[in-house]
Amino acid sequence: MLEPAVRPQTGLAPRRSRVLFSPWSRLSLLVCLLAGAGAVVVAYEPHRLLAGGGWPPQVGGAGAVVLFGVAYGLCTAAFVPRPVLNLASGALFGTQAGLAAAVAGTVLGAGIAFALGRALGRDALRPLLRGRWAEAADGQLSRHGFRSTLAIRLFPGVPFAAANYGAAISRMGYAPFLLGTGLGCVPNTAAYVVAGSQAAAPTSPAFLLSAGFIVVSVAAGAVVAWRKRHRLRSAPAS
């Protein structure tokens, strides 16, 4: 006699695989990862460890700068505000080394968020892009990735995490995103790093200039963001 077919068993594994690796399952994993990272930040406040004198005293020199850059990147991927980390970088390492650590950490954190959003969230969220404004923004990021990222980083009108995950949903490539982030973040990051390095002398010219630049850049970013939003809302749907 012929052996009975085992169709339920042979079809179960592919079905489970499809469910496990479906876009919505991956998006759920991304949400859980981000929620866990946010909970860790709230519970342990790693930015206070970096800025409040908790830095390991036995770690110094170039190794400390590299370690801080890695910690910076992980913290920004977990939604720790970059201004706090930039101030800490300047206070710990001075202007030059602090700027190098902060820029490297910014690119690392942006790359982590971009990779997570691209791998886990893009397939589920991209079909939901509806409406004239969403399609226009997606087209701008997809066609002009480097230029768009550079503008977003130069003017702090868009939250860092929102820009990272928004770019991941678009068709932008890794190279223009990371290059635009690395170049565009330098002016604003430098202002905070200088302010942190001169925090002990708040009346010094360097501190006053950096603080003035921060105020002006925030105001300019708000104006540019408002005008850009107005243009995107009035643009025809592609």
Distances (CA, A) of 47 to 62, 73, 76, 82, 89: 20, 12, 10, 10, 11
**pLDDT value at position 238?**
42
Contact 180, 141 (CB under 8 A): no
**Is residue 67 scored above 70 in pLDDT?**
yes
What does the longest C-alpha to C-alpha distance in the chain come to?
A: 95
- Per-residue pLDDT of 78-98, as tens digits, reads 888 899 899 999 988 999 999
**Is residue 134 scored above 90 in pLDDT?**
no
**Is residue 111 scored above 90 in pLDDT?**
yes
State both tokens at 25. Answer: 């399952």
Residue 100 or residue 161, greater confidence: 100
Report residue 18's pLDDT band, with 50, 70 and 90 as the boundaries: low
Report residue 99's pLDDT band, with 50, 70 and 90 as the boundaries: very high
State both tokens at 164. Answer: 């990272």
Report residue 112's pLDDT band, with 50, 70 and 90 as the boundaries: very high
- Mean pLDDT over residues 136-156, rounded? 83
Residue 17 or residue 197, greater confidence: 197
**pLDDT value at position 60?**
67
Please report, for the chain, the start and end positions of each structural domain, with discontinuous segments joined by +. 25-50+59-234
Residue 186 or residue 61, greater confidence: 186
Residue 197 or residue 23, greater confidence: 197
The chain-wide mean pLDDT, for the chain, equals 79
Report residue 224's pLDDT band, with 50, 70 and 90 as the boundaries: low
Report residue 237's pLDDT band, with 50, 70 and 90 as the boundaries: very low
**pLDDT value at position 200?**
75
State both tokens at 169. Answer: 């949903």
Distances (CA, A) of 79 to 42, 85, 137, 153: 10, 11, 23, 16
- Mean pLDDT over residues 21-33, rounded? 78
Lowest mean pLDDT: which of 5-19, 160-174, 201-215, 222-236? 5-19
Report residue 230's pLDDT band, with 50, 70 and 90 as the boundaries: low
Written as one string, the DSSP assignment of 130-188 is -SHHHHHHHHHHHHSHHHHHHHHHHSTTS-HHHHHHHHHHSS--HHHHHHHHHHHTHHH
Q: What angle do CA 12, 15, 17 make, to 5 degrees?
A: 110
**pLDDT value at position 38?**
80
pTM over 0.85: no
Contact 120, 24 (CB under 8 A): no
Q: Which of 147, 151, 152, 154 is nearest to 164 (CA)?
A: 152
Written as one string, the DSSP assignment of 62-104 is HHHHHHHHHHHHHHHHTT--HHHHHHHHHHHHHHHHHHHHHHH
% of the chain exceeding 90 in pLDDT: 25
What dihedral do alpha carbons 93, 95, 96, 97 form, nearest 10°? 20
